[in-house]
Structures are given as structure tokens and as C-alpha cells.
Amino acid sequence: MLRKILGISFLMILVWLLTACFGSQFYHEQIMKGQVVGIDNDELVICIGSKDGAKVGQDLQVYRYVWEGAVEEGESDYRVDYVGKLKIKSVVNDHFSRAINTEGDVMKNDVVEFVNN
């Protein structure tokens, strides 16, 4: 019985620590991810905003998930291609920012993530 109580207590503490990490600045500075949701002239609209820790001047790497079709069992149907880089030009609100393309051929629906310098 004591072992069960200790196990449940350990699990609760672990869950609490994980949720604290995901709401922390560490998450936003190290793991921040979003997507290109639109292209407006030379600017790209991305779904990373102030609530996600976005700041003017931050660099973001861009990736594209490409479906490869049927593959052997146990392998992924998708490959991840590096596409380029963006720089945040302005933070629009809690959820969106505007960015400029600094490298590569970025398209709508590409995945963007923080560049860990």
C-alpha cells in the first residue's frame, strides 16, 4: 500500500514538473514552434506571438514536412526538409507575428521554430 502511495505521489510530482516546464520561459526560448499561416507581400504571418515568447529580431528556422507515401512498416511516412530562416519583424498580438524571409523558399504551412543560438 505504501509503495502504491509513493508511486502515485511520484507520478503527480513528475506531471507537475512537466507542466511547469511547458509554461515556463525555458519552453518558449528552447522549444517554441509554430507555422506559417499566411504570406502578405514580402512578409510572412506566423502563429507565434507574444504569448509564446516571440520578440522582434528573433531568428526562426523553417522546416517542411513532406509526405513520402507508403513506406516499410515501422518507418515514417514523412520526411522533414530544412527550408530556410525567418526573422521576426513585428509581434502582432498574443498569437501572431510578422516575419521576413532571410534564407530559403518559405511557403504557407511550413513549420517554424526558434533558432537555438
Residue 14 makes CB contacts below 8 A (sequence gap 6+) with none
How much is the pLDDT for 100?
96
Specify whether 27 is located in the same domain as 53. no
Q: Which domain holds residue 7?
A: 1-31
Of the candidates 105, 115, 12, 111, which has an alpha carbon nearest to the alpha carbon of residue 63? Answer: 111
pLDDT at 113 over 60: yes
Specify whether 47 is located in the same domain as 102. yes
Q: Which three-class secondary structure state does DSSP give residue 48?
A: coil
Q: Which has more pLDDT, 115 or 107?
A: 107
pLDDT tens string 55-96: 999 999 999 988 877 767 777 778 889 999 999 999 999 999
9 CB burial (10 A radius; 0-12, 13-18, 19+):
exposed
pLDDT tens string 24-56: 444 444 456 899 999 988 899 999 999 888 999
Torsional class of 44: left (φ above 0), alpha (ψ -120 to 50), beta (otherwise) = beta
Specify whether 46 is located in the same domain as 19. no
Q: Which has more pLDDT, 27 or 103?
A: 103
How much is the pLDDT for 28?
44
Specify whether 69 is located in the same domain as 109. yes
Specify whether 45 is located in the same domain as 88. yes
Which CATH number does the domain housing residue 88 bear? 2.40.10.410
Specify whether 103 is located in the same domain as 63. yes
